[in-house]
Amino acid sequence: MVQKRFTPGKALIYLLLILLCATIVVAFWHLLNLSLSPSYIATKGGLLLWPRDATLDNYARVIGNRYIWLGYKNTLIRTAVGTVTQLFFTAMGAYVLSKRFFPHRTFWTFFIVFTMFFSGGLIPSYLVVKNLGLLNTYGAMILPGFISAYNMVIMRNYFQSLPEEIEESCLIDGAGRFRIFLQIILPLSKPILATVALWLVVGHWNSWFDVLIYISDDTKFTLQIVLRRIIITGSKEILDTSAAVSAAATESVVSSEGLKAACIFVTTLPILCAYPFVQKFFVKGIMIGSLKG
């Protein structure tokens, strides 16, 4: 069935696929070279296919900035605390919903799923967070999206597929539901927990809008917002404050283009490093999500 012959049609397909990949690889490669370029190359621009006069000055400037470190700290806090607590409570709710005998189960499922399709909108949600006094707290980054209805439904489906007999024997032995959930169900559900945990981690790492609207205290800014302020709003804090400190000589070495590129790599590095190893779990995850509801 498999044709080994290399036909023109096939050659064209290979060529198109290589071109598609090239747009992605070259874009990152160019940006990497830009981040390593001294200012006379970076401001001239063009397509940088090879590092010339490579320098780490841009990185030194970025790493020397306290907001990058604060951003890392805040991102790590929200990612760690958010992922663990959200995973636990989502799983717990999903476990309860997976019990066919739970009272008004259909209603509660609807109660949760409905929020996937309709919401109060931006302003009412903002006012709730504000009135709860959550502005400028980590709570504003974690609580508004604490439980995703979608994740919960997927977990519920997984729990339903577990054999009922294991639980029944535990009940006879006198274990309570909560203990069964902790000691039997969770360990049995590692694949789905890992999948959802990965989604939550990436979600927290990449999340920026909640910080933009709920957080104004710049010591609580996450990486994405620090990056956004530097790149998009063009905030000069990295350029200016450190330029004032360092000697005028370095002025000619760094450039805003190079600094922005370095910022992108510094903030994205963990994802780029972890990506090759976790990619296949995400691919599995998408299949879990698309299975019957």
Partner 1 sequence: MERTGGRIYPGGRSSFLSGFRGYRKHIALALMFLPVVVYFIVFKYVPMSGIVIAFKDYKISKGIFGSAWCGLDNFTKAFRTSTFTRSVRNTLVISGLKLLFGFPAPILLALMLNEVTHARFKKGVQTVTYLPHFLSWVVLAGMFQQLLSPNNGAVNYILKTVFGVKDSIYFLGDNRYFRGTLIVTDIWKNVGWSSILYLATIAGIDPALYEAATVDGATRFQCTRYITLPSLASTIVVMLILNVGSVMDAGFDQIFNLYNSAVYEAGDIIDTYVYRYGLGDMKYALATAVGLFKNVIAFVLVVGTNLAAKRISGSGIW
Residues in 209-268 at the binding interface with partner 1, rule: CB under 8 A: 209, 213, 224-225, 227-228, 231-232, 257, 260-261, 263-264, 267-268
16 binds partner 1 per the rule CB under 8 A: yes
Residue 150, SS3 per DSSP: helix
Q: How many CB atoms lie within 10 A of CB 201?
A: 19
CB nearer partner 1, residue 54 or residue 124:
124
Give me the least distance between CB of 36 and partner 1, in Å please: 14
127 binds partner 1 per the rule CB under 8 A: yes
What does the H/E/C string look like for 197-236? HHHHHHHHHHCCHHHHHHCCCHHHCCHHHHHHHHHCCCCC
User: What is the C-alpha to C-alpha distance for residues 75 and 134, in angstroms, rounded to an integer?
Assistant: 17
User: What is the C-alpha to C-alpha distance for residues 167 and 134, in angstroms, rounded to an integer?
Assistant: 40
Stretch that binds partner 1, among 57-65, 70-78, 140-148, 185-193 (CB under 8 A): 140-148
273 binds partner 1 per the rule CB under 8 A: no
Stretch that binds partner 1, among 63-71, 74-82, 184-192, 205-213 (CB under 8 A): 205-213
Terminal CA-CA length for the chain: 35
202 with 268: CB under 8 angstroms? no
CB nearer partner 1, residue 57 or residue 93:
93
CB nearer partner 1, residue 57 or residue 258:
258
Contacts of 30 (CB under 8 A, 6+ apart): 47, 48, 49
Q: Side chain identity at 38, as an amino acid letter? A: P
Count, residues near partner 1 per rule CB under 8 A: 99
Spell out, one character per residue from 143 to 182, where the chain touches partner 1: x when CB under 8 A holds, - when not. Answer: xx-xx----xx----------------------xxx--x-
208 binds partner 1 per the rule CB under 8 A: yes
